Amino acid sequence: MSRLLAIVFLVFSCVALAGATPPDPIEGKWLGQAGTPLDTIELGFEFKRNEKGELKAFLYEPVGNFYALELPGVVDRKDATYTISSYDTTLTLHGDALEGTYLPSKVPATLHRTETLPVEMPVPDLPPGPGPKWRAKLGAGEIFAPAAVRDGIAYVGSTNGTFNAIRESDGSFVWIFAAGRPIFGEALATDANVFFVCDNGYLFKLDRKTGKEVWRYDLGDARSPRILSHQIIDTVEPRIGDFDFENSSPMPRLADGVLFVGSGDGSFHAVDAETGKRVWRFEAPENGKPPEVTPWNPNGSNKIRTDALIDGPRVVFGSFGHKLRALDRKTGAEIWQKDLRAEISSSPVLVDGKIIVGSRGGVLYAFDRETGKKLWGMLLWGSAIESTAVPGKGSLFYIGASDLRRVSLIDAKDSRVLWRTDVFGLPWPRPAFSGGRVFASATGYAPYQMRHLGSFNALDAETGKIIWRWPAPVTDSLVSGFAAPPVVDGDLVIVGGLDGTLYGFPATGN
C-alpha cells in the first residue's frame, strides 16, 4: 500500500470509528455566474453539514441580497449530481467546476471553488439632495396612493379615510373629502371631476373644484379583507394569518365616456362616467374558487388590486387569481386570457407595442397585445414584482421590484438589462421618469432577513447612477419610508410617505 493511500485509509477509518459522515466532494465554498447573455448575475453557494450530518446549502446572490441564506431542506446527491429541491437547482460536479441550472426557469449556472464569498457592503455615503420644498401632513395614517395632478392641484387619498386636494405651490389644503375608509389607489382627475376607489367598496365621483360628491358606484368589494404589513407574533394563538402585501387599489381608467375598474371581489366593471350607472360587469368563471394559497396570497383570493390597460378596443387587467385577461371594451366579452401561475400585483403597461406585466412568481413578461401570446419572460432573481413598468425612450422601460431592491432599465424588445441600481430598500412602487431622471421610492422593512431602508431617490436615467438619496425619517414601525409611486409635474415631484406626509421635492438640482 502506498503512503498516500495509507493516509487516506487512516483518515476514513478515523471518521468511521468516530461515527461521523465522511466529507462530501461538494462541501466548501463555490462562486460563479448564472443567467443568460441578456442578464447574468454573480452566484455562490456554501455546502456544509449540520449537527445531524445533513448536507445543507447556503445561498449567496448579491443581486438578490442573499448572503449565507440557509435554504430549506437538504441537498440530495445521486452520483456526481446534486439537487436543491427547495430552490429548483441542480448542479453536477465536473472536476473543479459545478455546472447545472438555477431556479425553476432553469437558467445555466457555472461555479468554481473559492476561498471567499460575497459580503454585503455598507450603504455608501450619497448626496441627500435638496430635500423637500414642502410637506403636507394628511393626518394619522399612511399614504400608499400616488397623487393625481391637474392644474396645479395634487389629489391623493390616505389610509385615514380622507381624500385631499393639495396645492402644488406650497402644500396647502384646498379641500378634504371624508370617504370613511382607507384609500390605496391613484385617482383619475379630469377637467371637471375626480374619480377614485375606496375600501368601503365604492367608486367615487367628486366635483374637482369643491370636493363635493356627485355619485358613488358600488363595486361590491366592501367585505374584501386587506391586512397591511405588521409584526407577526408566532407565539400567539390562534393566528389570524399573515399579512398579504396589499398596498394598492386600481385607478379608474376612462375611455369614450366609460370608466373601467377592477374590484376586490374579483369582478371587473364598466361604469358610465356621467351617470354612475353600470354598463357591464365581468366575473371570471374561477371567481369564488380560490387559487392555491401562497405566502403572498394567504386568503387565496381573486382580487383585482391593480390598474387596467386601455388598448384600443380591449381592456387588459390582472388579478390575484393568476390570470391576465383582455376583454372587449364595449361588451365585456373575454378576448383572451393567460395564466401567470402567480398573483398579479403589477399593472399591465404598453411598451414598444408589447404588454409588459410582472407577477409575484418573480417573472416579468411581455405579451402580444392582440393575441396574448407570450413573447418573452425573464427572472427578477427570486424577487416578487410589485412594481409597474414605466416607458422610457423607444423600447426601453424602467421598473422596480421587491426583495431584489433594484430599479432596472430593460429593453422590451428582448428583455436585455441595460442597468440595475440598488436603492437599499423595497422599490415596490412604480418609478417616475422625467427630464433625464428616474425617481424611485424605497420602503424600509425591519426586522427582516435582509437589509431594507426607506428613502426617496433620484437616478440618472441613462446610467442608473444615484444622483441623490433622501433617507426617510427613522420610525419604530415594521415598514417605513415611501411605498407610494412618485409623480412628476413640471419642476416638482410629489410622493406620499408612510408617515402620512405628502412631500413635494424639486425635480431638478442636486
**pLDDT, tens digit (0-9, with 9 covering 90-100), for 316-328:** 999 999 999 999 9
pLDDT digits (tens, 9 = 90+) for 98-138: 999 999 889 999 999 999 999 999 999 999 999 999 999 99
Judge whether residue 232 has pLDDT over 90.
no
Looking at residue 204, what is its pLDDT?
A: 98
Instruction: Give φ, ψ of 151 to 5 degrees.
Output: 55, 40
Can the peptide bond before residue 295 be classed as cis, meaning omega within 30 degrees of 0?
no
pLDDT at 246 over 80: yes
Amino acid 4: pLDDT:
41
Q: What is the pLDDT of residue 448?
A: 80
Reply yes or no on whether the pLDDT at 233 is more than 60.
Answer: no
pLDDT in tens, 330-373: 999 999 999 998 999 999 999 999 999 999 999 999 999 999 99
170: nearest Cα among 504, 507, 508, 506: 504
Is 50 exceeded by the pLDDT of residue 283?
yes
pLDDT band at 294 (very low <50, low <70, confident <90, very high): low
Closest to 346 in 3D by CA, of 361, 359, 355, 327: 359
Give the start-to-end residue ranges of the domains of the chain.
Answer: 25-113
- What CA–CA distances, in Å, run from 69 to 60, 198, 348? 7, 39, 32
CATH topology of domain 25-113: Lipocalin (2.40.128)
What is the grid cell recorded at 458? Answer: 433620484
Residues in the chain: 510
Its sign, for the CA torsion 291, 200, 385, 352, is positive
Q: Which residue has the cell 446549502?
A: 57
More confident residue, 477 or 258: 258
Evaluate if residue 306 carries a pLDDT over 90: yes
Contacts from 17-20 at CB under 8 Å and sequence distance 24+?
20/53
Give Cβ neighbours of residue 142 (< 8 Å, ≥ 6 apart). 158, 159, 228, 483, 497, 498, 499, 500
| Contact yes or no for 347/355 (Cβ under 8 A) | no
Does the structure show a pLDDT above 80 at 234? no
Instruction: Give residue for cell 375611455.
Output: 255
